[in-house]
Amino acid sequence: MQAVSPTTTGVAYLARPGRPAVVARTLAELRGPTRGVVELPVRLMWSADRAFDLRDPDQLLWMYENVLRETTSVDDLRQLVNGRTLRRVWRLLNLPRSVRLAWETRHQGLRSA
């Protein structure tokens, strides 16, 4: 798991109490799909309706919000999130403040995205 280190930033960013926000080292390593229908694993979304059509902007945002908030593995990020797409939709995502700060601390370009 790759989380923003409190020793590097001086702050522990938590996705939820007791769970560090997981952040990829680079946006380029995020090679997830950009089209089609993606079904999230139960560990990331507990709803029976876990399929997201990436052509629908609202479904794309909902999927990214769930993955960024719920993942405990950088492998999930690599497989499900696309770096270019993440940069494009960053300001539209409804994320916990600590998750947003963790990503923007590691990837300062997202602040201006």
- Domain containing 53: what range? 14-110
pLDDT of amino acid 19: 80
Residue at 4 is within a domain: no
Q: How many domains does the chain have?
A: 1
Longest dimension (CA), the chain: 40
pLDDT tens-place values along the chain, 113 residues long: 444 444 344 456 877 777 889 999 999 999 999 999 999 999 999 888 999 999 999 999 999 999 999 999 999 999 999 999 999 999 999 999 999 999 999 999 999 87
Q: What is the pTM of this model?
A: 0.86
Amino acid at the residue 97 = R
Residue at 105 is within a domain: yes
